[in-house]
Structure 1
Amino acid sequence: MKKSTVSKDSEDSQPWTEKYRPKSLEDVSAQEETVAVLRKTVLSQNLPHMLFYGPPGTGKTSTILAIARELYGVENMRLRVKELNASDDRGIDVIRVKVKKFARTVISKNTRGPPYKIIILDEADSMTYDAQAALRRLMEDSSNTTRFCLICNYVTRIIEPIVSRCAQFRFKPLDTSSSKSRLEMICAKEGMICDSQTLDELVRVSNGDLRTAITYLQTANTLFKNEMITLEFVRELAGFIQPDAIEQLIQSAESHSFNKIENTVSQFFLSGYSAVQLLFQIQDQIIYDNTGRFTEIQKAKIAMYIGEIDKYLSEGCDEHLQVLNLIVTISKNISNYETMDFD
């Protein structure tokens, strides 16, 4: 009885992203084509090296763990599966020591499953070039005893010799209905009170990332136990930027005054808003504007600028300078000015 109570307490304290992680391939949401191919591969028990890529929170890690669970069973996964986060262990020494050591360990013939181990390298696009080159050689040398599964968001950051050695599986962003049905299931099991409109907003502010949406849901449940989760709280939790703040940035761009733009951008960051969240919202506000405020060509150019700024931010550039750059660029684009008023 005491053991059962401890087990329940442990489950209750789990992050919901782990508690509700898919346990089998059938539980993976909205990746029907990928799951169908992988299902046939699992039945043959002859896995190739694999490369899973796509946006975060779409089920890449959950899928390979579900495959490993079906191949080896829960009791043997610790011995047969090695999971590393390549963003933490990204250097060549990790490949030479941790990965190489596990790849060379001998498998007991008495254990369940095919005669090879699986090494999962999550966030493999964070690995250095030298580490990837060493991994390529290791993949060749240990192919009889080990299968590698590389997981990344950006497949273009993986060197071609590795890509060519892997079966590639693209995980598409989750559609609204799939994400919403998963959240509804969690709400029902946890006894949460959350209406359809709030769940729709939760999916939207998560930008197709189901892991983020579930994390927001757990946070909301902690703060609003046995109470209705409000739309306003979901937006606040996600760092939603008030439309008025975005409108002020656009108006400063329309003023063509650098001083006004600089002051507005400074005030924006003093309010505690995120540059990344701004990119999502300002793009929607401009691209879907139907008031005639922007021409279609201007919208296309602004979308291109937003993509460039997103790249710079992902590389660690200063948020303030990049938002300032974006608003100045928008100002030039909507006026066709090459110079600005610095008064």
Structure 2
Amino acid sequence: MTTEPPKSPKGKSITKTSSSDADTRRELLPWVEKYRPSTLNEVTGQDNIISTVRKFITAGRLPHMLFYGPPGTGKTTTILAIARELYGEKSFRHMVLELNASDDRGIDVVRNQIKTFASTRQMFANSKHNFKLVILDEADAMTNIAQNALRRVIEKYTNNTRFCIIANYAHKINPALLSRCTRFRFSPMSPEAIRTRLDVVIAAENVKIDADAVDALVTLAKGDMRKVLNVLQPCHLATTGETGVAATVTVAMVYECVGCPVPADVRRLMTTIIEDDWTTAVRTVAKIKADRGLALADILEALATEFEGYELKPEARIALLEGLSEIEYRLSGGGNEAIQTSGAIGVVKRALDIQGGIVQE
């Protein structure tokens, strides 16, 4: 005799999601989400902020908070880890309202979703903390009217709700809203912190990567952990052949994925601009752009970075950076790449004329 699975009221079979299905879904996640720290102990690179927040949690006096700083520094990860530590996985869904303000940015969201959630108490939540948590990600995209409305909601429902506002730029947040929050600035992650987390991912995914490629990842990330993982994953997948055995990730692959000139090409650019005539320099730059699929904006940034290693007079460095920034501004306004390429070479040559010679540090 066979036993049929239980039926729902509508006559459909009820099946449970197996743990293997959950594991399969996890394996298909992008590495940024798959390896997102789930606890405060796993969050790296923001030790001072974590220690301060822990004291608030221990004392049971969590304030309204503003997390701001560059992308990829752990702002959203930190507040989600705080929420899980406060409520646990069972109560998380009932006690936390997470909104991305770049999508839900109008006053209707404040009046309806946020106000409705903040004004009610959760009676049967399995948590020792009796306040709810509202997370507003990318709040610097909210309209001024919505921010003004949110100010009043925060004041009115402080007894049973805490707010965490996340933004890349604090100056885009209403000053009256800023005054109601405790500010935490997330700095770009240090190379050591990025390496610590990167080693975990490399070991877990069995990634074969050159030491120079790891150095390149850390350098190009500029403190953005999200960028590191978003570059490493496609590089690793690109090395996996039909046999399923991955080859080694190299420096060239990393630079190609990011879209930045490799150091050898940058040195070649510097040499042709310094030593060759104008026509030869223009042709060399155009060839490198065509061969590598680069944009002039990428080359400008690489040149500015390369000149940081050179000893220049103050007036020469000012002329260089001012000229390159003007070229970048013209490009952003739709300027012709060929004309601006010639102009960029002229900027560098003029700075070298002011310098009267070049000395590498």
Offset from partner CA, 1:50-83 (integer Å, 9 cap, x none): 0111111111111000000000001211111111
Other structure's SS at 2:259 match: coil
Q: What's the RMSD between the two structures over aligned residues? A: 3.6
Other structure's SS at 2:310 match: coil
Other structure's SS at 1:82 match: strand
Q: What residue number does 2:70 align with?
A: 55
* 2:6 matches 1:6: no
Q: What residue number does 2:12 align with?
A: none
| Partner Cα separation in structure 2 for residue 307 and residue 37 of structure 1 | 39
Q: In 1, are the aligned partners of 2:139 and 2:166 still within 8 Å (CA)?
A: yes
* 2:238 matches 1:238: no
Q: In 1, are the aligned partners of 2:91 and 2:125 still within 8 Å (CA)?
A: no
Aligned ranges for residues 86-97 of structure 1 at < 5 Å? 86-97=101-112
CA deviation after TM superposition for structure 1 residue 302, in Å:
4.1
CA deviation after TM superposition for structure 1 residue 230, in Å:
1.2
| Aligned match for 2:94, one of 79, 88, 91 | 79
Letter in 1 for 2:215: D
Letter in 2 for 1:150: I
Aligned ranges for residues 17-32 of structure 1 at < 5 Å? 17-32=32-47
Q: What residue number does 2:302 align with?
A: 281
| Partner Cα separation in structure 1 for residue 155 and residue 89 of structure 2 | 28
| Aligned match for 1:168, one of 172, 175, 183 | 183
CA deviation after TM superposition for structure 1 residue 98, in Å:
2.4
Pick closer, same or farther for the CA change 1:97–1:181 going to 2, 3 Å. Answer: same
Unaligned runs of 5+ in 2: 1-15, 241-245, 355-361
CA deviation after TM superposition for structure 1 residue 333, in Å:
6.6
> Looking at both structures, which has the greater relative contact order when contacts are Cα pairs under 8 Å and sequence separation is at least 6?
1
| Aligned match for 1:227, one of 221, 244, 247 | 247
Q: In 1, are the aligned partners of 2:327 and 2:340 still within 8 Å (CA)?
A: no
| Partner Cα separation in structure 2 for residue 31 and residue 191 of structure 1 | 27
Pick closer, same or farther for the CA change 1:192–1:301 going to 2, 3 Å. Answer: same
Letter in 2 for 1:296: P
Pick closer, same or farther for the CA change 1:71–1:319 going to 2, 3 Å. Answer: farther
Q: In 2, are the aligned partners of 1:61 and 1:151 still within 8 Å (CA)?
A: yes
| Partner Cα separation in structure 2 for residue 93 and residue 200 of structure 1 | 47
Q: In 2, are the aligned partners of 1:132 and 1:159 still within 8 Å (CA)?
A: yes
Pick closer, same or farther for the CA change 1:195–1:147 going to 2, 3 Å. Answer: same
CA deviation after TM superposition for structure 1 residue 331, in Å:
6.0
| Partner Cα separation in structure 1 for residue 322 and residue 142 of structure 2 | 28
Other structure's SS at 1:73 match: helix
Aligned residues: 329
Q: In 1, are the aligned partners of 2:99 and 2:135 still within 8 Å (CA)?
A: yes
TM-score (norm 1): 0.82
Q: What residue number does 1:327 align with?
A: 344
Aligned ranges for residues 303-314 of structure 1 at < 5 Å? 303=321
Query: Which moves more between the two structures, 235-244 or 224-233?
Result: 235-244
Q: In 2, are the aligned partners of 1:57 and 1:211 still within 8 Å (CA)?
A: yes
Q: What residue number does 2:13 align with?
A: none
CA deviation after TM superposition for structure 1 residue 187, in Å:
0.8
Offset from partner CA, 1:187-211 (integer Å, 9 cap, x none): 1111111132211111111221111
Pick closer, same or farther for the CA change 1:42–1:98 going to 2, 3 Å. Answer: same
Larger radius of gyration: 2
Letter in 1 for 2:252: E
Letter in 2 for 1:299: R
* 2:170 matches 1:133: no
Other structure's SS at 1:21 match: coil
